[in-house]
Structure 1
Amino acid sequence: MPEKRPYPGPQGGSSDSKRPRSDDPIAAAKAAAAAKAAEIRARIEASRNKSNGATPAPAAPSFAPVPPVMPVTKAKKPAPKDEDERANPYFDPRLVNTARARASRGLLFNERGKYLEQGSKLRAQKRLEQIKKMLAQQARRAGLDENSERGFLVQPPPDVEWWDEALLAEKTYDCLDNPAKVNIDSEDSVISIYIQHPPFLKAPQDQRLIETKPMYLTPKELAKKRRMRRAEELKEHQAKIRLGLEPPPPPKVKRGNMMRVMGEQAIADPTAVEMLVESQIAERQETHEKANEERKLTKEERLAKLETNQQKDAQKGLYMCVFRINTLAYGKHRYQIDQNSKQLALTGITLFNPNMNLVIVEGGIHSINKYKKLMLHRIKWEENAQPTEIQAEKQKADPQWMKSVDAAGNMKDLSYNKCALVFEGEVKQRAFRKWGSKMCETDGEAKNLLLRNKLDSLWALAKNVE
């Protein structure tokens, strides 16, 4: 028997492991699979070290020494993996675990006093706005922004009218001489060969409520019409009685025809007949009053009918009246102005001012005419009286110029007080949604209030009315 060749390792033949035979195909396949797995593990470790910023370890050589042969039961696991990798042509081991590892974020803490500083800045800004508002109000009260003629001043024309802005390259008419700056014949010009027809709008007077009134009749014609109607109703009633549809009415006995109608009964017992006549008269009177009460409208129906008529009156056209009153220190005058405007469904405002008072009302022509009679004729503007205890308690917070008595408790002399009509005319729409009042201590406050409704010129107009 020939002698065996020693193992080419450092320990020589003392190692228990044996070198696999080269002619064994199973052992060769296992060795190749183990070498491939080692190479894949080396690449995965290199990619991990590279993503973490570490220096990648040197890759294992592809010609790594063949490990010793292991038992068959322990070397079965790498074989299916190698087979799957060879069977999948789309597998790329370079893409395994190439995503960057997510770095953990540290905790971020707000600095001490951060929100306290923000709160102090907000409070300082709010105080600054309050100071600006107070200074502006003081300036108005001091009369720094007063200009009674501002409503009559004509504003200067703009540099370019709005309908010419799209045709000019510059915001001035000085560029008209330069054809390059005038956009008229170009393709993007707003001027073209086409004609734009504006839509047809109804005239304001066409939108009003127009009621057709019946033909007027003279008093004689009305009496004749009523007489003929009653005669027709009587004939119809008599026909129903003849046909037996209605019972015949009892004889209508009165004091004048009592003896003629009752005849012998009146002669035999005149007292009983007289009592019968009086009872019939009372019964007819009661029936008449009951019918009137049934036809009478209730309070809710009267208010609804009044509201409907006021709305129809406003639909026929809106009118505005402006009144200037020297003083409204007497509380009765303020009450009459306020209540009558509400009852007549008028909208507007009453402006109280130490120098003069302005009343603006708007509504239908019927309500406006009644209010004009109230303001110009019915109210006695010269009268004054001591306030009651309740009125004095309510007026305690009012300024002195709004009270009917002076600081010493004496009644003010209102003989100079009068009401003048400043403006009267038709308007397109209402400027106020409801009726109200406002106290303005300066002219500037009154103008700013009227400026919201574009009526500030009325204040300047009223100041020039004597």
Structure 2
Amino acid sequence: MPEKRPYPGDYGDANGSKRPKPSAPAAAPPKVDFLAIAKAKAAAIAAKIQGDKPRTEAPTSANGSTQSTAPLSAAEKLAAMKARIAAMAGTTGTPTSASTNTPPVRPPPSHASSMSLPSNRDDGKPKRYETNGPRFATTLGNRRVDSETPVPESRSRAPAAQTEEPLENPYYDPKAVPARGATRVARGLLFNQRGKYLDQASKLRAQGRLEQIKSVLAKQARQAGLDENSERGFLVQMPPEVEWWDEGLLDEPSYDCMNDPAKVKINGDNSIITPYVQHPVLLKAPQDQLLIEVKPMYLTTKEQAKLRRMRRAADLKEHQAKIRLGLEPPPPPKVKRGNMMRVMGEQAIADPTAVEMLVESQIAERHDSHVKANEDRKLSKEARLAKLAENQEKDAKKGLHMCVFKINTLAFGKHRYQIDHNGKQLALTGITLFHPKMNLVIVEGGVHAVEKFKKLMLNRIKWTDNDRPTDIQEEKSASDPQWMKPLDGSGNLKDHSSNKCTLVFEGEVKQHAFRKWASKMCETDGEAKEALSRNKLDSLWALAKASE
């Protein structure tokens, strides 16, 4: 057997120094008789099976051996084993359970039988534990000893009397769980009614007769050639003389009488068709008329070009697909001055003059077709005016707006013409009041038209301009008073440097106050108020006077 490796540290020969001999040899512990323990255990198990018997402890001697002359019973052997264990505990210096109130000491581990206690060598060194049996974990051996060693019982196993009544469970329902010993309730006798099975038998016989009749009919149909799978089974029935929905409109059961109005009941009093069907007129909500149509989002120049390229590419792809399928003829080559020699090839080299004339004619033809297409897309004058009137009408239906302008003087005829002409073009209604000291222009219409007229009055017209009238204008304004002419009494041009236009009032109105566009000349303030009072707008004159 190879020599064991020295223990690390100060123990043993780790540092080359031997441990001194003990002064006196230690007393060897008494050996345990495990055979007796096993026999005592077997006797205890046998006694337990036979029943509980009174147990008496046998007197033990000083060295722990049992002194008895009669043969030992199982209880006596168990008591002897306990005494032997107590003696072993006493030799090691621990108090026993007999002398103290502490619980009895456990017996030594089960592997003690296979291991010798330490003893002195011949040379004075202690011997180590030498294993003589199988090796296993110490904890496992202790568990086996704990399970095999009987625990001493100080009291009898008499059942303890129940001193307290068991608590009632509030959640237990004896009705929900049947008792283990509940008796089975006998079921009552159920008697069948008289004639029950007779009725069932008669129904079965009737069903059998019906099946027999069906089989006979099917056989006869097959013999007559009326089977569903035959040709006659797929024949369509002829339509009736008169459909059921037309029977109430005809006097005769045939459509031959339709040409006779007397026999057709459609417009008469006896007809089932009446004109009393009410179709209510759909009216738009008042607030919907004031909604402004949202215009689509404007695209930038690059976005428009990209959209056009994508659309043209899709059209070209579709055109090429139709050419490949043979639905459309292939277009002739587009010859230009730059690709003339490459496209025409040998023909251009042979006769370049003829090829050049051909190319020029094709270029002119393409230009003419382009111009013609643009002209065809243009609206005519009547269509353009109709479209403009329709848009103006739609604009007016969204809501009416009114503006009131005050001008110092309208002696220059061009200013009067611009106001009158633009008011009629924009389909506005209102009036122009001419006065020696102040002129008033009242317009009403849609929001788009009023905004354009407002830009005209406040931005476009140059009110400080003045010029001599032409011969035709002098003839037309011969009957006008002096304050309506651009020249003064001495024939000089009037100074319009202080002339200006002011917006007096702007707002939304409920309905039209004027039916058309008109103008009126008033010499005094009373005439101007009287002209406006007919339309209930005389307060506007006072407002314009106060805004000076």
Given that residues 318 and 426 in structure 1 are in contact (C-alpha distance below 8 angstroms), is that contact kept between their aligned partners in structure 2? Answer: yes
264, 276, 298: which one pairs with 2:346?
264
525, 538, 547: which one pairs with 1:443?
525
243, 268, 289: which one pairs with 2:325?
243
Give a deviation string over 1:298-347, Cα, whole Å, max 9, x none: 11111111111111221222111110011111111111110011011111
CA distance in 2, matches of 1:333, 1:426: 26
- 1:225 and 2:307 are equivalent in the alignment: yes
Corresponding residue of 2:415: 333
Corresponding residue of 2:499: 417
Given that residues 434 and 521 in structure 2 are in contact (C-alpha distance below 8 angstroms), is that contact kept between their aligned partners in structure 1? Answer: yes
Aligned partner letter, 1:237: H
Trace 1:5-20 onto structure 2 (pairs within 5 A): none
CA distance in 1, matches of 2:304, 2:461: 39
Corresponding residue of 1:394: 476
Give a deviation string over 1:227-254, Cα, whole Å, max 9, x none: 2322222222223323333222110011
Corresponding residue of 2:363: 281
Corresponding residue of 1:348: 430
Given that residues 319 and 368 in structure 1 are in contact (C-alpha distance below 8 angstroms), is that contact kept between their aligned partners in structure 2? Answer: yes
Trace 1:55-454 onto structure 2 (pairs within 5 A): 205-208=287-290, 210-214=292-296, 217-454=299-536
C-alpha distance 340-233 of structure 1, shift in aligned 2 (>3 A): same
Corresponding residue of 1:125: none
Given that residues 209 and 312 in structure 1 are in contact (C-alpha distance below 8 angstroms), is that contact kept between their aligned partners in structure 2? Answer: no
CA distance in 1, matches of 2:333, 2:349: 18
Corresponding residue of 1:197: none
SS class of match (2:478): helix
Give a deviation string over 1:125-171, Cα, whole Å, max 9, x none: xxxxxxxxxxxxxxxxxxxxxxxxxxxxxxxxxxxxxxxxxxxxxxx
Give a deviation string over 1:106-143, Cα, whole Å, max 9, x none: xxxxxxxxxxxxxxxxxxxxxxxxxxxxxxxxxxxxxx
CA distance in 2, matches of 1:215, 1:424: 29
SS class of match (2:477): helix
SS class of match (2:307): helix
CA distance in 2, matches of 1:356, 1:267: 82
Give a deviation string over 1:37-61, Cα, whole Å, max 9, x none: xxxxxxxxxxxxxxxxxxxxxxxxx
Given that residues 423 and 429 in structure 2 are in contact (C-alpha distance below 8 angstroms), is that contact kept between their aligned partners in structure 1? Answer: yes
Aligned partner letter, 1:372: K
CA distance in 2, matches of 1:270, 1:336: 61
CA distance in 2, matches of 1:372, 1:202: 30
Given that residues 342 and 435 in structure 1 are in contact (C-alpha distance below 8 angstroms), is that contact kept between their aligned partners in structure 2? Answer: yes
Trace 1:23-38 onto structure 2 (pairs within 5 A): none
Alignment coverage as a number of residue pairs: 266
**Deviation of the 1:202 alpha carbon:** 8.9
Aligned partner letter, 2:341: M
Structure 1: gaps (5+ residues): 1-200
CA distance in 1, matches of 2:314, 2:386: 35
Given that residues 310 and 345 in structure 1 are in contact (C-alpha distance below 8 angstroms), is that contact kept between their aligned partners in structure 2? Answer: yes
C-alpha distance 255-308 of structure 1, shift in aligned 2 (>3 A): same
**Deviation of the 1:363 alpha carbon:** 1.1
Given that residues 320 and 426 in structure 1 are in contact (C-alpha distance below 8 angstroms), is that contact kept between their aligned partners in structure 2? Answer: yes
CA distance in 2, matches of 1:358, 1:315: 26
SS class of match (1:449): helix
Aligned partner letter, 2:393: Q
CA distance in 2, matches of 1:414, 1:214: 45
C-alpha distance 212-384 of structure 1, shift in aligned 2 (>3 A): closer
Corresponding residue of 2:547: 465
After superposing on structure 2, the runs of 4+ consecutive aligned residues of structure 1 that deviate more than 6 Å are none
SS class of match (1:361): strand
Give a deviation string over 1:332-370, Cα, whole Å, max 9, x none: 111111001101111100001111000001111221121
Given that residues 333 and 379 in structure 1 are in contact (C-alpha distance below 8 angstroms), is that contact kept between their aligned partners in structure 2? Answer: yes
CA distance in 2, matches of 1:224, 1:328: 52
CA distance in 2, matches of 1:458, 1:426: 15
Given that residues 204 and 428 in structure 1 are in contact (C-alpha distance below 8 angstroms), is that contact kept between their aligned partners in structure 2? Answer: no
Aligned partner letter, 1:397: S
Task: State, as a whole percentage, how many aligned pairs show the same letter.
Answer: 79
**Deviation of the 1:226 alpha carbon:** 2.6
TM-score of the superposed pair, with normalisation by structure 1: 0.54
SS class of match (2:404): strand
Given that residues 504 and 547 in structure 2 are in contact (C-alpha distance below 8 angstroms), is that contact kept between their aligned partners in structure 1? Answer: yes
CA distance in 1, matches of 2:377, 2:417: 34
Give a deviation string over 1:267-321, Cα, whole Å, max 9, x none: 2222222221111111100111111111111111111111111112212221111
C-alpha distance 329-216 of structure 1, shift in aligned 2 (>3 A): closer
SS class of match (1:308): helix
Given that residues 209 and 315 in structure 1 are in contact (C-alpha distance below 8 angstroms), is that contact kept between their aligned partners in structure 2? Answer: no
SS class of match (2:409): coil
RMSD: 2.0
Given that residues 289 and 399 in structure 2 are in contact (C-alpha distance below 8 angstroms), is that contact kept between their aligned partners in structure 1? Answer: no
TM-score of the superposed pair, with normalisation by structure 2: 0.46
Aligned partner letter, 1:311: E
Aligned partner letter, 2:445: G
Corresponding residue of 2:273: none
SS class of match (1:397): coil
Give a deviation string over 1:44-79, Cα, whole Å, max 9, x none: xxxxxxxxxxxxxxxxxxxxxxxxxxxxxxxxxxxx
SS class of match (2:444): strand
SS class of match (2:520): strand
Given that residues 209 and 316 in structure 1 are in contact (C-alpha distance below 8 angstroms), is that contact kept between their aligned partners in structure 2? Answer: yes
CA distance in 2, matches of 1:460, 1:329: 23
Q: Which protein has greater RCO, CA pairs closer than 8 Å, 6+ apart?
A: 1
SS class of match (1:362): strand
CA distance in 1, matches of 2:452, 2:504: 17
CA distance in 1, matches of 2:300, 2:458: 35
C-alpha distance 316-461 of structure 1, shift in aligned 2 (>3 A): same
| Larger-Rg structure | 2
Aligned partner letter, 2:350: A
Aligned partner letter, 1:379: I
SS class of match (2:528): helix
